[in-house]
Amino acid sequence: MPPEAQERYALLIPALNEAETLGALLRQVPPDLFEQIIVVDNGSTDGTSQVAAGAGVCVVIEPRRGYGRACQAGIRSLRPEITAVAFMDADLSDDPSDLARLVRAFEEGGCDLLVGSRVLGGSEPGSLTSLQRFGNWLSTRLIRWLWGASFTDLGPMRIVRREVLERLQLTDYDYGWNVEMQAKAARLRLLAGEIAVKYRRRAGGKSKISGTLAGSVAAGWKILWTIYRCWRDDARWEKAQL
């Protein structure tokens, strides 16, 4: 690839009360892989922003809760030269040592979207609940059935081309963000793939979604609703063309 066409990567980390793990995580991110590292503090009360600022990364404050909202706020703060964005959770469930491999595979595959699959990677026992595994299986089956793209997971670690992010016009503000990205990429027949990544139980802090039944059910419901919404928009669009 000629130097002028080289990808320039940002890493975006949405964080809600993750001060316990964030410092160690940022120290493990491979140096020189990312031109910009953004931590979006989603209204934390535990000093998450201070930990991020102390590590010298870009801190964005998004006081309105929601994983998708945090991602949107981070995207609005990307520097102009950034061409691709990697995402990772802040609780050290994702392993920063997978990032270099993810970036390499993204580049070699010329992908629009590359998802790190925790199912292919063999996650640590207890890190993915049975409900999460079932939800992933069902959602990825639905995506394959509706739009023909094969995924095995809706994992948080991923890379997407910036220009694709703009095309996808993602609107989900919480748990539907990842699945909306995959469903819309499938619908547009973009070049999407997966690689195996590791996944562990969170290394500290409090569980917010998968650790509680209420959180899991809310997330699962929102994921299925988001797939339905993408399908419904498709059907409406097709009708308008007739």
Ligand X SMILES: Nc1nc2c(ncn2[C@@H]2O[C@H](COP(=O)(O)OP(=O)(O)OP(=O)(O)O)[C@@H](O)[C@H]2O)c(=O)[nH]1
Which DSSP category does 77 fall into? T
- The distance of closest approach from Cβ of residue 67 to Mg ion in the complex, given in angstroms and rounded to an integer, is 10
**Of 170, 199, 200, 195, the residue nearest 182 (C-alpha):** 170
**15 touching ligand X, by CB under 6 A:** yes
- The distance of closest approach from Cβ of residue 93 to ligand X in the complex, given in angstroms and rounded to an integer, is 6
Tell me, residue by residue from 69 to 108, as one string, x for binding to Mg ion by CB under 5 A and - for no binding.
----------------------x-x---------------
- The distance of closest approach from Cβ of residue 139 to ligand X in the complex, given in angstroms and rounded to an integer, is 14
**153 touching ligand X, by CB under 6 A:** no
Report H helices in the chain: 19-28, 48-54, 67-76, 99-109, 118-121, 130-147, 162-168, 177-187, 213-241
**Of 41, 46, 87, the residue nearest 65 (C-alpha):** 41
- Tell me whether residue 158 or residue 202 sits nearer to ligand X (CB atom): 202
Among 144, 198, 200, 208, binds ligand X (CB under 6 A): 208
When CB distances are held under 5 to 8 angstroms depending on the partner's kind, the choice from Mg ion, ligand X, none that residue 65 binds is ligand X
Interstrand relation of 58-61 and 36-41 (parallel, antiparallel or unpaired): parallel
**210 touching ligand X, by CB under 6 A:** yes
Give residues in contact with ligand X (CB under 6 A). Answer: 14-16, 18, 42, 65-67, 70, 89-91, 93, 202, 207-211
